[in-house]
Amino acid sequence: MSAKRSTNARAAALECLLAVLGRGQSLDGALASVLPALEDPRDRGFCQALAYGVLREHRRLGALRDQLLRSPLRSRDYDIALLIELGLYQLLVMDVPGHAAVSQTVALAHERNKAWAAKLANAVLRRFQREMPTVLAAVDDQPAVRYSLPDWLLKRLQTDWPAQWMDLIAAQNTRAPMTLRRNARATAVPELPPAQPMPGFADALVLDQAVGVDNLPAFAQGVISVQDAAAQLAADVLDAQAGESILDACAAPGGKTAHILERAEVKMLALDQDAQRLDSVKSNLERLGLKAQTQVGDAGEPTSWWDEQPFDRILLDAPCSGSGVIRRHPDIKWLRRESDIAELQRGQQRLLKALWPLLKPGGRLVYATCSVLHAENEAIIDAFMAEHTDATALELDLPVGQSVGYGQQILTGESGVDGFYYACLQKR
């Protein structure tokens, strides 16, 4: 990798970090704005690895930086604070020669016309190289720092999962595997790089090594999709049968909609309140050769879109904190606030309540989230069951996770999958 190219990749990673941590943008959005300018795919990969990595370790890297600095940086020098985190991350975690990590970080400070910061970064990074074990020992004794979580989230995980929280927070900082879903309708055998099936997950294949979808012709051919194995259980729990009418109430970008359609010939209404995101449902269905009616609308206000024909089954994949998928979206740790949780709960309760009357007697509603917080999962179903005597919670038999009250909770990293919650309610 030439020096200039690698400086560009680091500069792009710094832009992403500033967008996420400084301006509250999502990591996906930030990467989408910087990656196209990097021509070399190796640079794009390096930039992504840096941005994901620093967000995973952000609190720990910040503590290391502050430990190494004589006086804290001013808030207007947040770019330099993050630049030092980028340098530290390369020295601590990445397979980058130490001299390159230091010299490239220094070069980046010069590029930002902050010569003072170049000197400072050089001194801090060199000291880290010399004193790594001592400096790490000084910050790693607090789990919230060692595993880079905001205090409020760690506290919730500890309260909710007293026996499991250590494994859970360690899993949240790992790199997730790339998991594919075979299109059950496709007759062609997909040509794929080495991949392993997952016992208990009918359509899942885990690639030995992640690759860009552009390098998987089977993706464009509609033979495979990219979807975590835990998310693939939605189709199992819903268990839609041929001829039934199905509502996918929060459908975009359509991963679960498509999976349900791949499994059975059903009449599907894919609803989402976000028109732009609903477009991605349409393009996914087109790529896979599947058909559904799509509708922009608020699932909590059925009068504005429902034709009064009750559904056999409803999937409510509710908007949630995403605390189960932090390993794929480490920006969640820094973008979510504790106050979001109560607001998300109100939304989850509202949607569940509004959709229940749309179900036929005997029909099933599946409530799902990619959260590992009780507040968004059992607490929602407990409250719902207390108010709805015509609902029975069905026993689930999933290949992973544990029964919790009315549903089943999968914790991030169990059998290598994302954190998810499923409950299946039948109407009497």
Ligand X SMILES: C[S@@+](CC[C@H](N)C(=O)[O-])C[C@H]1O[C@@H](n2cnc3c(N)ncnc32)[C@H](O)[C@@H]1O
Outline where DSSP puts E strands in 128-211. 179-182, 195-198, 201-207
User: Minimum distance from CB of 114 to ligand X (Å)?
Assistant: 40
Nearer to ligand X, 190 or 300 (CB): 300
Query: Residue 274 or residue 390: which is nearer to ligand X going by CB?
Result: 274
Given the residues 47, 250, 370, 424, the one annotated as active site: 370
CB 266 within 8 A of CB 245: yes
47 touches 35 (CB < 8 A): yes
214 CB neighbour count, 10 Å cutoff: 9
Active site residue 320: no
Q: Which residue is nearest to ligand X (CB)?
A: 250
| Residue 383: CB minimum distance to ligand X, A | 18
Provide, rounded to whole angstroms, the least separation between the CB of residue 259 and ligand X. 8
DSSP 214: G
By CB atoms closer than 10 A (0-12, 13-18, 19+), residue 380 is buried
Nearer residue to ligand X within complex by CB, 231 or 261 = 231
| Distance between CA atoms of residues 216 and 201, nearest Å | 21
Cβ(413)–Cβ(168) below 8 Å: yes
In the complex, the residues that contact ligand X under the rule CB under 6 A are 231, 250-256, 271-274, 277, 298-300, 317, 319, 351
- What CA–CA distance (Å, rounded) separates 419 from 233? 12
CB nearer to ligand X: give 131 or 298: 298
Nearer to ligand X, 148 or 273 (CB): 273
* Nearest distance, CB of residue 253 and ligand X, angstroms: 5
> Rounded to the nearest whole angstrom, what is the least distance from the CB of residue 258 to ligand X in the complex?
8
Beta bridge partners of 425: 365, 393
Active-site residue list: 370
